[in-house]
Copies of this chain bind each other. A is one copy, B any other.
Amino acid sequence: MADAGNEAEGLTLLGLHVSPFALRVRMALSLKGLSYEYIEQDLFHKGELLLSSNPVHKKVPVLIHHGKPICESLAVVEYVDEVWPGAAATILPADPHGRATARFWAAYIDGKLFPAWTGIMKAATEEARAEKLRETHAAVLNLEKAFAEISSSSSNDGAAFFGGDSVGYLDLALGCSLPWFGALRAMLGVEIIDAAQAPLLVAWAERFGETPVAKEVLPQPDEAVAYAKKIQAYWASAKN
């Protein structure tokens, strides 16, 4: 699917199979029914195309559209939604207040939740790990409240997704990390979205995982575990 008919749209995506930020963009492209050339990147040996198309951050994802690179996953998702507004799905809410709320929480997911949960993996001591887990749970609790508010303020009371009856911007922004939440459970026995603390998000994650776009794009947690081990081995060898 990813490599058929990409000439029509002129789309190339530089990604990494376990990168939440790249998965976010792949889900957006999939929601829109767009085909694209996908080029997996080796972040330990960055290629010329990645370096030249994202010289500032040298990171995935980069979406190249008719030769023009677009970087920063949230900006790429908005771009995809704006260029193909009439396609199968609408990603951003239609009304300005809903859009502002979605942008606020997406910034929160990237600014607070992401550094907290990745900090759990990077922590050098048990104490540091416990602190990052506390930060993660505080962020998840805020997102639980946000989900309660957003889904009850929707036209359908108690909507299934942040986006309402169908998957939207915040579903992609948070859902892209679910494989890693599974990997953390497998590796460290920690629960990122805890049923006692965030029952609505636990149910949301189950529903999200069953959507066609999640099934098509998201890797299994064991792929994230394998990649985490690869990173750890790289760090260990770098220290020697």
* Chain A residues within 8 Å of B, Cβ to Cβ: 56, 65, 68, 70-72, 74-76, 78-79, 82-83, 96-97, 99-101, 103-104, 107-108, 142
- Copies of the chain in the assembly: 2
Taking CB atoms, residues of chain B closer than 8 Å to A100 are 70, 72, 75-76, 78-79
Contact (Cβ within 8 A) A97 B75: no
Max chain B C-beta neighbours (<10 A), residue from A65, A70, A76, A100: A100
Cβ A75 vs Cβ B108 within 8 A? no
Main secondary structure of the interface of A (DSSP, over half): helix
A62 to B97, CA, bound (A): 13
Chain B residues with CB under 8 A of A74: 103, 107
A78/B103 contact (C-beta < 8 A), A70-B97, A96-B83, A97-B68 known: yes
Instruction: Please indicate the chain B residues that have their CB under 8 angstroms from the CB of A82 in the complex.
Output: 96, 99
- Looking at the complex, which one of B65, B72, B97 makes contact with A103 (CB distance below 8 Å)? B72
Give the docked Cα–Cα distance between A27 and B157 (Å): 37
